[in-house]
Chains A and B, each alone.
Chain A
Amino acid sequence: EVQLVESGGGSVQPGGSLRLSCAASGFTFSSYEMIWVRQAPGKGLEWVSYINSFGSIIFYADSVKGRFTISRDNAKNSLYLQMNSLRAEDTAVYYCAREATLLSWDYWGQGTLVTVSS
């Protein structure tokens, strides 16, 4: 069974940092591209970042470029999102997801809540 489990969320002050993790199981993690998507409270879905299976191709949304860093450790079946210089508008539930057929995202984690507030 494919499983994605996020961790690392919490409360942080503006300007602070957090590192999110996504533990993958039930599939060959090293063969799949992965993404992070976030959802602010009561709002829609926003794509945050993408990484290919080797970690050699990375993209970011303009809203996080220069502040967030996506990475992966295929030996540990894990995906990461390092978030620096956090702002109030980064408050959201963060989901990791697996990229599948024709640029769709077929498996998602349960999400981890990040709250940025003073």
Chain B
Amino acid sequence: IHMTQSPSSLSASVGDRVTITCRASQSISNFLNWYQQKPGKAPKLLIYAASSLQDGVPSRFSGSGSGTDFTLTISSLQPEDFATYYCQQRWTFGQGTKVEIK
């Protein structure tokens, strides 16, 4: 199964609503997870099973979708959210989306 993540990068301002999409090459039900990675750090699990918020993750992060199309939304971008985001389905990661300061 191939995962296509878009965009590869985006520029946004603090307070913006940000949406990242991930598309699977075939249906994966809701077996889709989202991670945040900051430079020099390990990835951090944000969302599992497409829409479940991992413990301790701020509620401004949300996930949606099922089947082949999935979305990660940050409702109001904060300074600490500038990072790279990856979707993951079993053994496959998306190529990543780098969220940069505008």
Name A residues whose Cβ lies closer than 8 Å to a Cβ of B.
37, 44-47, 50, 59, 61, 95, 97, 100-106, 108-111
Contacts and interface: CB of A to CB of B under 8 A. Distances in A.
Nearest to A104: B48
Given A103-B33, A104-B48, A106-B54, A95 B43 contact: yes
B92 A47 contact: yes
Given A61-B91, A106-B54, A44 B96 contact: yes
Contacts of B30: 102
B49 A45 contact: no
- Looking at B33, B41, B90, the one whose CB has the most chain A CB atoms below 10 A away is B33
Contacts of B95: 44
- Looking at A95, A97, A101, the one whose CB has the most chain B CB atoms below 10 A away is A101
- Looking at B42, B54, B91, the one whose CB has the most chain A CB atoms below 10 A away is B42
A44 B37 CA distance: 10
A50 B90 CA distance: 10
B70 interface: no
Contacts of B48: 100-102, 104, 106
Given A100-B48, A104-B45, 15 more contacts: A44-B86, A44-B93, A44-B94, A45-B35, A45-B37, A45-B96, A47-B91, A59-B91, A97-B42, A102-B30, A102-B52, A104-B48, A104-B49, A105-B43, A106-B54
Nearest to B84: A44
A108 B30 CA distance: 22
B57 to A, nearest CB: 11
Contact of B45 (A37, A95, A105, A109): A105
Contacts of A100: 45, 48
Contacts of A102: 30-31, 33, 48-49, 52
B36 to A, nearest CB: 11
A109 B94 CA distance: 21
